[in-house]
Amino acid sequence: QIHFILLFSRQGKLRLQKWYTTLPDKEKKKIIREIVQIILSRNQKTSSFVDWKDLKLVYKRYASLYFCCAIEDQDNELLTLEVVHRYVELLDKYFGNVCELDIIFNFEKAYFILDEFIIGGEVQETSKKIAVKAIEDSDMLQETVEEYMNKPAF
């Protein structure tokens, strides 16, 4: 099971945080600081895996963004790299040539896409087409301004 996913820039700015376990806010902040520091200090010659506490961190850099997943001991690290890659592909398919700015300005969409790919730390959909279609269909459901204004709140 994936415990959490973090996206951050090369300056250490957080772009997305998804937690699949419950932790106090303070703890989360501390973990983020720690992990960002560990990963940013790794050089090119190292592997993509870091032993951290009782978890394994799997990370990969795409352009200016670091994608980091924390998995359990029995999870397959190499497959997790594929999971990360698939997420990037989904973002790319949705946004078209995705870059960090897309994720900054449309962070809620990044979350929506992630939520169509992973639930509770496990992959729910292995087809790129189906996952992206679900997002696009949901987008269609979002009301136009008139519809929005006219629909009841509760």
Partner 1 sequence: MPAPIRLRELIRTIRTARTQAEEREMIQKECAAIRSSFREEDNTYRCRNVAKLLYMHMLGYPAHFGQLECLKLIASQKFTDKRIGYLGAMLLLDERQDVHLLMTNCIKNDLNHSTQYVQGLALCTLGCMGSSEMCRDLAGEVEKLLKTSNSYLRKKAALCAVHVIRKVPELMEMFLPATKNLLNEKNHGVLHTSVVLLTEMCERSPDMLAHFRKVRQLSSSQLVPQLVRILKNLIMSGYSPEHDVSGISDPFLQVRILRLLRILGRNDDDSSEAMNDILAQVATNTETSKNVGNAILYETVLTIMDIKSESGLRVLAINILGRFLLNNDKNIRYVALTSLLKTVQTDHNAVQRHRSTIVDCLKDLDVSIKRRAMELSFALVNGNNVRGMMKELLYFLDSCEPEFKADCASGIFLAAEKYAPSKRWHIDTIMRVLTTAGSYVRDDAVPNLIQLITNSVEMHAYTVQRLYKAILGDYSQQPLVQVASWCIGEYGDLLVSGQCEEEEPIQVTEDEVLDILESVLISNMSASVTRGYALTAIMKLSTRFTCTVNRIKKVVSIYGSSIDVELQQRAVEYNALFKKYDHMRPALLERMPVMEKVTTNGPTEIVQTNGETEPAVLETKPPPSGLQPASQANDLLDLLGGNDPVIPTAPSSKPASAGGELLDLLGDLNLTGSPVSAPAPQITQPPFLLDGLTSQPLFNDVAAGIPSITAYNKNGLKIDFTFERSNTNPSVTVITIQASNSTELDMTDFVFQAAVPKTFQLQLLSPSSSVIPAFNSGTITQVIKVLNPQKQQLRMRIKLTYNHKGSAMQDLAEVNNFPPQSWQ
- Where does this chain bind partner 1 (CB under 8 A)? 14-17, 19-20, 22, 24, 29, 45-51, 76-79, 81-83, 86, 104-105, 107-108, 111-112, 115, 119-120, 122-130, 134, 137-138, 141-143, 148-149, 151-154
Q: Give 96 or 154: the residue with its C-beta nearer to partner 1.
A: 154
* Main-chain phi, psi angles of 13, to 5 degrees: -85, 130
The answer to whether the beta carbons of residues 15 and 65 sit under 8 Å apart is yes
What 8-state DSSP symbol labels residue 97? S
Shortest Å distance, C-beta 97 to partner 1: 19
What does 16-46 look like in DSSP terms, one character per residue? EEEESS---HHHHHHHHHHHHHHHHT--TTS
Shortest Å distance, C-beta 148 to partner 1: 6
Q: Give 97 or 140: the residue with its C-beta nearer to partner 1.
A: 140
